[in-house]
Structure 1
Amino acid sequence: MKTLLNVLLRLIETARILGLNYRDLKNAEDLLMHNEFGLCFDTIITQMYEYEIEIDDELYESISKIGDIMNLKPESYTFMKELIRDESNIPKPLKDELTRIITSLIE
């Protein structure tokens, strides 16, 4: 259980570094402190997905390992693969921001 607590704390900290908002981080931390490990994990990955926060292969591997530790079906977290950064493409949030900037210059 201590191992699970530690990996979830690292996941929360990683989500913080990647820009997940304070409210979602706080919710996940509260769930974790009440031993709601599954809800904590689900909150972090769902909100990262909803906000399209890009991840790398290493973070996906961590998410997958947490899922394994928690005996979750892979379907409950494999959607996160969609967020893995592709070095050959411009990230969607950056594309959206560039589109907004270019549109404002044209108007």
Structure 2
Amino acid sequence: MHQICHRDLKLENTLLDGSPAPLLKICDFGYSKSSILHSRPKSTVGTPAYIAPEVLSRREYDGKHADVWSCGVTLYVMLVVVTTVVVIIVVASLLLRGVRDEEEDEDPDSDV
């Protein structure tokens, strides 16, 4: 497609546009490398949690394959971590609402 290896794909480097059916956009091309030059990357760059195993070998690697690995990690984070955080927030807000409801039900002037 665009013949660019991003080399630092992660959740923080993705954006959603404001459309009703949002499109995912990639940003921060600071570590990117053009594959048109037929130069295979060797340097260990990127965010540690998202780096493909072959990048850590400190030998020449295929940047596109490393980007696919990072996309997989990003998808995992989106599906598992973000979902877990949302569930925690929802449960916490429901618990707080229950505590508030109980406090409102208690009437300090009642003799019961």
Superposition TM-score tier, normalisation by shorter sequence:
0.3 to 0.5
Q: Higher strand proportion, which one? A: 2
For the pair shown, the structure with the greater C-alpha radius of gyration is 2
TM-score w.r.t. length of structure 1: 0.35
TM-score w.r.t. length of structure 2: 0.34
Q: Higher helix proportion, which one? A: 1
